[in-house]
Amino acid sequence: MPVSKRDVMNLLCSISDWRGLQVVSRGRWKGIMNTAVCTGLGNFLAGPPGMVVGGVFGGLLGVWMAKEKRTPMSQVLKGLPGDQQQKLFNKVKAIISNLHSMNDTQLMMCVMSSECLQQQLVDMLMDFFAKELKIRSEMQK
């Protein structure tokens, strides 16, 4: 029985959780806009001294808002649209082309017992997120 796209996505979610893969996002523009708004508001309410206070307050709040946020890659994988899932499925099929006659349980056992296959799939995932989705990803330390 051929492996389905759903089985492959479940496999990728399991591997990404096992390896601690995370997607990193930043709220840089929120921080910049917050600083600008607080500075302008401070200037409007209290003139030049208010601009200084608003700039400092907005800057500190902006730094806090621009912190990196980490999301488990499995959550992002589950929310990918169908065309992106199909691209991933095709990339995985190229890696596991000789394992096509397995069912989902056999495939999971085979991949989870092979460090080499896991590493190939992790490398493929990291590359896919970087090149196709333009999202930075990393392994949890």
CA distance 44 to 102: 68
Residues 110-128 pLDDT 10s:
888 889 999 999 999 999 9
**61-84 pLDDT tens trace:** 877 776 778 889 999 999 999 899
CA distance 105 to 136: 31
Q: Is the pTM of this model over 0.85?
A: no
pLDDT tens digits, 10-60: 999 999 999 999 988 766 677 777 788 888 888 888 888 888 888 888 888
Q: b/e map of 100-117 (b: 16 or more CB within 10 Å)?
A: eebeeeebbeebeeeeeb
| DSSP-assigned beta bridge partners for residue 72 | 22
